[in-house]
Amino acid sequence: MLIIGIAGGTGCGKTTVVEQIMNELPDGEVGIISQDSYYKDTTGLTYEERVNINFDHPKSIDFKLLRQHLTTLKAGNSIEQPVYSFVDHNRTKETITTLPKRVMIVEGILILSKPKIRNMFDIKIFVHADSDERLIRRLKRDIAERGRDIDEVLTRYQTTLKPMHQQFIEPMKEYADLIIPNNKYNTVAVDIVRTIINDKLD
């Protein structure tokens, strides 16, 4: 099994890069794990307390469970991947059965911040987009998909997203094997990733 870690700031276009890579590989050979599924269980907190959690800090992620799941998949066994609700700010009771594949892609803003997780990746990719572009994408997504209003998103960007990006995400570029500028469909970068994957799988 080949494990690929894809990191980058919020709204940088990680999902697009993941889709581009998946399109270059045979059907049924790629599995996806999202860091968003591994936010810590906040059942013991009130809704007001959950709303105030800094979800852009590494402490908000259950990295221990993520590492256990990656180890289980690498051993050839399936996992029950948590499902997280961004409306309720908590895990749901549902899980997604995730089977081991030849290529597993792990994507998320903070996945390169923990050495024990980072060292499990065979290929580490950082997707770069400028801050204005990332803010625009974040606004569109959070308002349309997560029930936020524009003032809430802008306040969160200034108070947590931007400083957390500068402290925990941007410095992780140094650990990346490949940095992809995601201002358009980057065929050269995706071709390089496909070549690396095929070389490692052969």
| Residue range 36-53, pLDDT digits in tens | 999 999 888 998 888 888
Contact 82, 7 (CB under 8 A): no
pLDDT at 146: 66
Is the pLDDT at 58 greater than 70, yes or no? yes
Contact 133, 34 (CB under 8 A): no
Is the pLDDT at 153 greater than 80, yes or no? no
Is the pLDDT at 114 greater than 70, yes or no? yes
Q: Fold for domain 6-201?
A: Rossmann fold (3.40.50)
CA distance 138 to 140: 6
Contact 19, 90 (CB under 8 A): no
Please tell me which residue, 80 or 16, carries the higher pLDDT value: 80
pLDDT at 162: 82
Contact partners, residue 104, CB within 8 Å, separation at least 6? 1, 2, 3, 4, 30, 31, 32, 33, 70, 73
pLDDT at 82: 96
Is the pLDDT at 165 greater than 90, yes or no? no
How many Cα atoms are found within 13 Å in the side-chain-facing hemisphere of 167?
9
State the DSSP H helix or E strand holding residue 119, giving kind and residue range, or none if neither. none
> What's the one-letter identity of residue 89?
H
Question: Model pTM?
Answer: 0.84
Q: Among the residues of 112-177, which ranges form H helices?
A: 115-118, 131-145, 150-156, 162-164
Domain ranges of the chain: 6-201
Average pLDDT of the segment spanning 156-176: 85
Highest mean pLDDT among 9-23, 42-56, 137-151, 183-197 belongs to: 42-56
pLDDT at 61: 95
Is the pLDDT at 183 greater than 60, yes or no? no
Average pLDDT of the segment spanning 72-96: 93
